[in-house]
Amino acid sequence: MNIYIAFLRGINVGGQKKIKMADLRTSLEKAGFKNVQTYIQSGNLVILSESTDLALLQKNIYNVILKGFGYEVPILILSARVLSEVLEAIPFKEAEEKNLYFAMLHEFPDEELAREFNALEFQNEDFELIGKCVYLNCRKGAGNAKLNNNLIERKLKVTATTRNLRTMKKMIELAS
């Protein structure tokens, strides 16, 4: 069996796309996923599957949510190894941990859009696009940040899902 971490974009945020994690676990296990674990209500999953086809796994989870709950939800699936590599590459070594966020991109952005994005500046916010992750150091907190998930998606024209450092570490721990 292979262990994967799945991040669901935009559920249980602001009262929209409400899904109880217990119901989601049950639905996914009925669909053949094993030992489904969830962490907090924002759509963080650890799943076991015999499949190694990430696109197929994403499609299967997408379909379970669409059929069972009626929501179209973007899904990003990674291995614990890949998630660990993301954390090892944090460019802000002096940042306070509570200010670190990761906007994980579902695909590589267009090179020209990435160049334009990298030229942006935001007061009290540092960011760096490395591969398929926008590393964020929100020095005044994420709630006050101008560079949020929606803006990242608009500027790079890719789907993204953002998590804080605590969630990223917890997901790696759960997958271990």
Would you say residue 12 has pLDDT above 80?
Answer: no
Would you say residue 55 has pLDDT above 80?
Answer: yes
pLDDT for position 86: 95
pLDDT for position 148: 93
Count CB-CB contacts under 10 A for residue 98. Answer: 12
Q: Is the pTM of this model over 0.85?
A: yes
Amino acid at 163: R
Question: What is the C-alpha separation between 97 and 176, in angstroms, rounded?
Answer: 22
Amino acid at 118: N
For the chain, percent of residues with pLDDT exceeding 90? 82
Q: What is the largest CA-CA distance in the chain?
A: 47
Residue 109 per-residue DSSP state: P
Pick from 65, 71, 28, 66: nearest CA to 47: 28
Pick from 106, 170, 156: nearest CA to 127: 156
